[in-house]
A = this chain, B = another copy of it.
Amino acid sequence: MATTNKPLLQRQTVTAMVAEYIAGLIIAGDYPGGHQIRQEAIAAELGVSRIPVREALLQLEADGLVVIRTHRGAVVAELSSDDAIDLFDARIQLEPFLAEKAIARASEDDIATVETSMRAYEVAISRGESPKELSRLNWAFHTALLEPAMRPRSMAVVRTLYSSADRYLRLQIEPAKAQAKALREHRDLFDAYRRKDGAQTAGLLRKHIADAADEIVSQLRKSEAVA
């Protein structure tokens, strides 16, 4: 299998846990764009010192979730239709390309992994799992699709783009509708993937991302027009 095999016991550093904690709050929307993140407050909340908080914030800045200004601290990155376009366009350039490369290398096991993660997403939707869990499974599906391409660099880029894109996906007005559409598209994607039809998969993936982007951008434009 071409997927990355994680070490059995990966020592979790406090910095990593803090980063995950803050990222979760930002992606969930609990910390909206513009929110000031106070190191001391987070540190007290989690019962740690400010050092791991600062280091976590540096990582989140690299992920584009926060903006750090010298001696002024970290602020949650603002959402905007322009940013969404930037973000989703970058995904559209990278993901379909990776999907084609992945298909060219995918083993039967890799294809089985895609199917498994598709089904997991399916089940989670029918069970009405939390947005966070659905997002995790959606990402797992995309990962399974692209991982066989064996492009760790590109995957790292796609991963950071996705975590920001996730913020936008979470503010959709009709998530259930979007999820149902995503699920249908996942099925089509898997069908083309299984047949090892690279061009078809790439095209479907492009449309999958572009459609989600259109939905989000038009929604954002409306709220921006009001403000």
Interface residues of A (CB under 8 A from B): 10-11, 13, 51, 54-55, 58-59, 62-64, 70-71, 82-83, 86-87, 89-90, 93-94, 97, 150-154, 156-157, 161, 164
Contacts and interface: CB of A to CB of B under 8 A. Distances in A.
A67 B95 CA distance: 24
Contact of A58 (B59, B82, B86): B59
A150 B71 CA distance: 27
A70 B153 contact: no
A154 B97 CA distance: 16
Could you tell me the dominant secondary structure of chain A's interface residues?
helix
B90 A153 contact: yes
6 contacts: A11-B70, A58-B62, A62-B63, A64-B156, A86-B154, A94-B94
A154 B70 contact: no
B97 A153 contact: no
Nearest to A150: B82
B152 A86 contact: yes
Contact of A87 (B93, B97, B150, B153): B153
B11 A71 contact: yes
B59 A90 contact: no
B151 A89 contact: yes
Nearest to A155: B86
Contact of A55 (B11, B13, B58, B152): B58
A153 B55 CA distance: 21
Nearest to A92: B97
Contacts of A62: 58-59, 62-63
Among A10, A11, A151, max chain B CB count under 10 A is at: A151
A85 to B, nearest CB: 8
A13 B70 contact: yes
Contacts of A150: 82
Nearest to A68: B13
A189 B222 CA distance: 38
